[in-house]
């Protein structure tokens, strides 16, 4: 099946006796045991599993082409489950522009139990020299946040395999529609389902899809079930509902972002546009090879200082000045001030999540804001 079809049908597991065409929300936290002490409905207690969560995990597995998935209450708890599952003392190789929430986890929560190097993973040849005897994980984020850097998933998978390392890809910016890291050799794909998969800025969630049900998956599964950072039945219902339109939303996001990037790249008030779909993007060729589209995220450097950049985000009327991404509404933010004083993000960088409004309205809005700058 193609992704549009999978997205609509793969989560419809529940054969309700009422004949529902879509799955109802299962709020029960506990499930009847049979006479033999078993669980005839397939569920015991909703922290361990719940019909809505099972359905969500199933559709995500199908879309990513994996073996199994674990859904979490946020992207952060999904990623954290991987770090928690590593042996204490393990070393991690992660990108220098890793999603700042994960960087913060490693530096504040896992400081003392894990060690890490944050390096430029776009230069594949550099990676091997950072591998130590205790290295156990290579973590990649592509496209990256907020610089939209692209890593060569297939090339890094080969390095990970050669050294016996777990290879995980934060594929949040791509969504399962644009890129499937498992097919390129990754062991685990991570998504913040809060973003494109949810798509309407109204549900927080995360997920991991695994290439195999191996020993590491068992550890993560135990962290999911026993740690208990799981999404509610309602969260899962919302995500399943959103996934049905994911492929079409992504097409719209990509089309709008491409037009906006092309408009902005020639604008006199703009110093640089970071969008993997532009031929000028340093990893454009890799993006073209491993993605089916270039996504709805772009970052720009405006001419001038932080104050000038902030003036732009304060002047727009259709874009909402807010963090996050992947929703139907366009969002704009001055990124360095979100990331705080330790951020290395340029002070004149504005990150844009291009939504599904009419692109002419978005361009006119940004054009007016840049003129007011």
Ligand X SMILES: *Cc1c(COP(=O)(O)O)cnc(C)c1O
Q: Does 175 bind ligand X (CB under 6 A)?
A: no
Q: Does 179 bind ligand X (CB under 6 A)?
A: no
Nearest approach, Cβ of 78 to ligand X (angstroms)? 8
Residue 99 annotated as catalytic:
yes
Residue 248 annotated as catalytic:
no
Q: Does 224 bind ligand X (CB under 6 A)?
A: no
Residue 249 annotated as catalytic:
no
Q: Does 296 bind ligand X (CB under 6 A)?
A: no
Give the 3-state secondary structure percentages of the chain, helix then strand then coil, rounded to 5: 40, 15, 45
Among 46, 145, 175, 348, binds ligand X (CB under 6 A): 145
Q: Does 54 bind ligand X (CB under 6 A)?
A: no
Nearest approach, Cβ of 18 to ligand X (angstroms)? 33
Options 39, 47, 311, 367, the catalytic residue: 47
Q: Does 192 bind ligand X (CB under 6 A)?
A: yes
Q: Does 333 bind ligand X (CB under 6 A)?
A: no
Helix ranges, the chain (H): 3-9, 51-64, 75-85, 100-104, 153-162, 175-178, 215-222, 233-243, 246-264, 284-290, 306-315, 335-339, 359-372
Nearer to ligand X, 170 or 365 (CB): 170
Among 52, 69, 76, 142, binds ligand X (CB under 6 A): 76
Residue 95 in contact with residue 118, Cβ under 8 Å?
yes
Nearest CA to 264 out of 337, 256, 97, 174 is that of 256
Q: Does 74 bind ligand X (CB under 6 A)?
A: yes
How many residues sit close enough to ligand X to count as binding (CB under 6 A)? 15
Relative to beta strand 91-95, strand 115-119 is parallel
Residue 195 annotated as catalytic:
yes
Sign of CA dihedral 149, 99, 86, 135: positive
Nearest approach, Cβ of 358 to ligand X (angstroms)? 25
Residue 300 in contact with residue 354, Cβ under 8 Å?
no
Q: Which residues contact 21 (CB under 8 A, 6 or more apart)?
A: none
Options 53, 103, 149, 195, the catalytic residue: 195
Q: Does 209 bind ligand X (CB under 6 A)?
A: no
Give residue 54's Cα distance to chain centre.
20
Q: Which residues contact 235 (CB under 8 A, 6 or more apart)?
A: 73, 203, 204, 205
- Residues of the shown chain interacting with ligand X in the complex, contacts defined by CB under 6 A: 74-76, 99, 101, 141, 145, 170, 172-173, 192, 194-195, 204, 206
Q: Which residues are catalytic?
A: 47, 99, 170, 195
């Amino acid at each position: 099946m193609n992704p549009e079809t999978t997205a609509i049908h793969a989560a419809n597991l529940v054969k309700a006796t009422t004949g529902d065409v879509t799955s109802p929300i299962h709020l029960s936290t506990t499930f009847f045991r049979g006479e033999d002490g078993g669980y005839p409905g397939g569920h015991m207690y909703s922290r361990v599993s719940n019909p809505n969560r099972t359905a969500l995990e199933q559709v995500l597995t199908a879309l990513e082409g994996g073996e199994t998935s674990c859904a979490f209450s946020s992207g952060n708890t999904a990623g954290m489950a991987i770090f928690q599952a590593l042996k204490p003392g393990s070393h991690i190789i992660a990108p220098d522009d890793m999603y700042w929430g994960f960087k913060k986890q490693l530096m504040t929560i896992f400081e003392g139990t894990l060690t890490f190097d944050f390096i430029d993973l776009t230069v594949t040849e550099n990676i091997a020299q950072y591998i130590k005897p205790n290295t156990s994980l290579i973590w990649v984020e592509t496209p990256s946040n907020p610089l939209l850097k692209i890593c060569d998933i297939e090339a890094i998978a080969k390095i990970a395999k050669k050294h016996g390392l777990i290879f995980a890809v934060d594929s949040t910016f791509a969504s399962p529609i644009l890129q499937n890291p498992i097919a390129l050799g990754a062991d685990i794909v991570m998504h913040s389902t809060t973003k494109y998969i949810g798509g309407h800025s109204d549900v927080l969630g995360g997920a991991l899809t695994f290439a195999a049900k191996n020993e590491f998956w068992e550890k993560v599964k135990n962290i999911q079930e026993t740690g208990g950072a799981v999404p509610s039945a309602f969260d899962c219902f919302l995500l399943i509902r959103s996934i049905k339109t994911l492929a079409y939303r992504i097409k719209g996001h990509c089309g709008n972002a491409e037009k906006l990037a092309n408009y902005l790249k020639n604008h006199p008030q703009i110093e640089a546009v970071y969008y993997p779909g532009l031929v000028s993007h340093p990893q454009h060729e890799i993006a073209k090879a491993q993605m089916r589209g270039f996504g709805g995220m772009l970052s720009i450097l405006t001419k001038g200082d932080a104050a000038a950049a902030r003036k732009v985000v304060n002047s727009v009327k259709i874009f909402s000045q807010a963090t996050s991404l992947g929703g139907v509404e366009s969002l704009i933010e001055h990124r360095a001030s979100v990331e705080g004083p330790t951020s290395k993000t340029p002070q004149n960088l504005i990150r844009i999540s291009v939504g599904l409004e009419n692109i002419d309205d978005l361009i006119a809005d940004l054009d007016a804001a840049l003129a007011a700058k």
